[in-house]
Chains A and B, each alone.
Chain A
């Protein structure tokens, strides 16, 4: 029993370490002044990794029940739909928003 607790606590501290490393990474990446899309991808990507660590280990989402996974999965899909739907409706020059733009090359 004591081993389990100690192991669990060790696990949390390892995750903490990883989160600190990733925080440094994301700050460091910002100094590289990457071009637009890459900067976004890196920043959001690292943030996703950090969020996943917090969710899986601190929030005990790893090994949780399907009854929790399904609503969260649905939420993720709808979140993406909202951002994509808004962006593609208003972003006049994004790929795929107009038939003619999508199929002409210049």
Chain B
């Protein structure tokens, strides 16, 4: 089978990167050797424009964050340019509440999400980082340009971090319009730009912030994950601290859909390219932050019928599993494959849109992120 004709599950864990190869039937899986051993890898993503290129957001507790790239499906890796916050003397002051005259030094903390650009911009990628930072490269990561409208935003002094830090974890593009971008930050909410990232509009209308005195503020929501619908680029599915939502108007307003499930807390959501109008959420107990009711749960939202379907029986995978914001992914095959990685290192796979499930027989370190490199042929020139 040709290198690019395989399906790969790209996994970021607490202790490194793993690439799992499968066939189109998604029945057998081969786990490759670990890379970036000992580092927290928050996100691993393939660049579909350049088959074989894989990027990893590597966060080493000792030596700091690094962007790493492989050009051969993870066989070898190389550190490429890692963006930096401006040096202190060049940085505009962000003020400390207790001492408003003292600028707070804020080095780059963890890297959270790498988003390859549109096919029309084959050398562009975006990077989201802590503390609430957004970068763009137009030379495939040889250099990074800070998006000042976010990185130096005057209201940033009021932006609170979530438990995982001040992370910018979601970056979404619109294939119809390269000037349109969406981002999600904890615990700030979502924003949309219509001018390539020069200005941003908060897009959190209808999303509850149960942890604030004002339950429906303009910003301050703790968005956990957002995905777009493959068939309708105006539709988005959102897992927020305050529940599960859908928007049909480019995030102008959000409609809560999770209430029929009771506790609709969770961190992650995915929507498969082959099944438009469907979204998969991993429902967690809002207090314990693990799957409630003692078993793994994945729920399918059907946006046409506006109904939920529970995909796993209580006896399928009993236990209390944690699933983080990049912990669920879908492929672009038909029927859709669903992949769920847990904080205790299990990788669950359904090759048939949730009908049957298997546990990949390998114990990973705690999983931060799961993404899919779909089988492909060809690709853009570098």
**A in complex with B:** no
